[in-house]
């Protein structure tokens, strides 16, 4: 399938915020204001889907409402990018109700992370449209220490130039949305090189356990000539990550994977470098491909923006990750 790269954002563009998983109602008014002000500061006009405030006992809304907002966002020619409010647990419910031609015929930026992984990889598999794992609309509500996240958002979505990913200076794993002024920053020790090598290919993945929900369905992307970017949140301990990764490895198409980039784990996952190395080294299928860990994406802060379906080169000799096309 031919890849479709959406047009980049420019000042004056309208963006549409939708809630494919959790409702916007869980976001505080103060954090909403910060998010909208920051996006407006980029010269973007922020609009919202009709049903984003709808909220049920699962902190979500009906399939009908979520699909309607998704379709409307892509059909509206004034809208140049679609942002997920936040993650959640259930956007894979939407997949069989989506009119994929609406998305294919109206290509535009679609960005989010975590549970949105299911929708992003399905869009790429069904339409060829490159989507983006990066800050959700709610992520823009971080009052402090947002510079790195914003830098890579702009590099990926407001420029066509290839860019090199560098480690952040500091990172955090705090509930910033509850206490904006007291952040627990941690010095970044840099990336962990587990397996050496060089690989180029198509970026696929993002949240590992969510990606695995697509296995065996028409929504799972082709792994041929791919570089997997994978991460998991605090609910996933290292044993869960291990078996989820093993599940991917068992796929016949895994032979097409050229390299793996692993996002930073949350502290509650209790992952150590030593344990992670042991797990990766135990898998013979990975020994001939580069594997880099502790990269700035996932459920800690800050995070990069990267293209699902875009092109990357990973080279451990000079510790470089270069996004060539996005």
Rounded Cα gap, residues 270 and 59, in angstroms: 28
Query: Kindly report the CA angle at 256 between 251 and 257, in degrees rounded to 5?
Result: 90
Q: Residue 299 catalytic?
A: yes
Task: Check 114, 133, 138, 226 and give the catalytic one.
Answer: 114
Q: Is 231 a catalytic residue?
A: yes
Cα 39 to Cα 42, 136, 220, 248, 320, distances in angstroms? 5, 11, 32, 36, 30
Q: In this structure, is the dihedral angle defined by the CA atoms of residues 265, 267, 268 and 269, taken in order, positive or negative?
A: positive
As a dihedral over the C-alpha atoms of residue 171, residue 176, residue 181, residue 184, rounded to 10 degrees, the angle is -40
- Number of neighbouring beta carbons within 10 Å of residue 171: 22
Q: Which of 23, 231, 311, 326 is catalytic?
A: 231
Catalytically annotated residue among 299, 301, 311, 326: 299
Return the number of other C-beta atoms located less than 10 Å from residue 174's C-beta. Answer: 17
Name residue, tokens 């500061």: 41
Active site residue ranges: 114, 231, 299
């Amino acid at each position: 399938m031919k890849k479709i790269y959406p047009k980049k954002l420019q000042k004056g563009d309208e963006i549409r915020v939708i809630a494919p998983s959790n409702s916007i109602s869980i976001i505080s008014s103060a954090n909403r204001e910060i998010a909208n002000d920051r996006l407006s500061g980029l010269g973007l006009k922020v609009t919202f889907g009709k049903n984003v405030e709808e909220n049920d006992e699962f902190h979500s809304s009906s399939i009908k409402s979520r699909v309607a907002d998704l379709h409307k966002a892509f059909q509206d020619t004034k809208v140049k990018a679609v942002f997920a409010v936040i993650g959640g647990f259930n956007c894979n419910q939407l997949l069989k109700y989506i009119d994929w031609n609406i998305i294919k015929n109206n290509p535009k930026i679609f960005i989010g992370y975590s549970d949105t992984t299911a929708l992003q990889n399905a869009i790429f598999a069904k339409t060829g449209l490159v989507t983006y794992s990066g800050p959700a609309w709610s992520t823009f509500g971080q009052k402090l220490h947002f510079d790195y996240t914003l830098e890579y958002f702009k590099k990926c979505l407001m420029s066509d130039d290839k860019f090199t990913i560098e480690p952040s200076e500091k990172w955090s794993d705090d509930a910033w949305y509850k206490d904006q002024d007291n952040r627990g920053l941690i010095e970044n020790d840099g990336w962990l090189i587990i397996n050496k090598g060089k690989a180029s290919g198509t970026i696929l993945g993002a949240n590992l356990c969510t990606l695995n929900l697509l296995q065996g369905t028409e929504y799972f992307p082709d792994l041929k000539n791919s570089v997997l970017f994978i991460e998991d949140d605090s609910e996933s301990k290292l044993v869960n990550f291990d078996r989820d990764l093993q599940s991917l490895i068992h796929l016949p198409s895994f032979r097409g994977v050229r390299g793996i980039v692993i996002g930073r784990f949350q502290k509650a996952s209790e992952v150590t470098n030593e344990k992670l190395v042991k797990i990766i080294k135990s898998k013979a299928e990975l020994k001939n491909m580069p594997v880099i860990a502790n990269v700035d994406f996932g459920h800690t802060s800050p995070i990069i923006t990267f293209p699902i379906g875009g092109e990357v080169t990973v080279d451990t000799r000079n510790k470089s990750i270069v996004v060539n096309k996005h």
